Amino acid sequence: MPELAVGDAAPAFDLPATTGRASSAALAGTPYLIYFYPKADTSGCTKQACGVQEALPQLGGLGLTVIGVSPDPMGPIGKFAAKYGLQFPLASDAEKTVAEAYGTWVEKSMYGRKYMGMERSSFLVGKDGRIAAIWRKVKPEAHAAQVLDAASAL
């Protein structure tokens, strides 16, 4: 599957989430950020989620909806959201179908061992349903500021 690029139509999704369901159909006509993270309640994912939560008033002021997606089952995701008071939906992509559509389920390597895992990536989608910005291998600390900058230009 070719890698997504700015200007491409964002792949459709419909996933179980902390708010019930998160779907691209429900977001039609509104800008949104869909971000993929490896595992709930780990240090990098917590920094990233809390940074997004902190920026939520400004992002919401820009009309932007945020959805976080991981391959975790809903149980751990719900506990993670409750523990940190996250006010945006976190979705479970246990089958990795959405991650594969966005090209974020990738081969990784640690200590010479290769395995499949979630690449920390984000996609800003405009009102038209097209990708406006892509961040691959996101640095959790810088993520919210990058998104705010790009979202204010939408």
Rg for the chain, CA atoms, rounded: 14
Cβ–Cβ under 8 Å, residues 137 and 119: yes
| Dihedral angle of Cα 115, 8, 54, 75, to the nearest 10 degrees | -50
Which among 115, 100, 136, 124 has a CA at the least distance from the CA of 30? 124
- For the annotated catalytic residues, the residue numbers are 45
Distance CA 41, CA 97 (A): 22
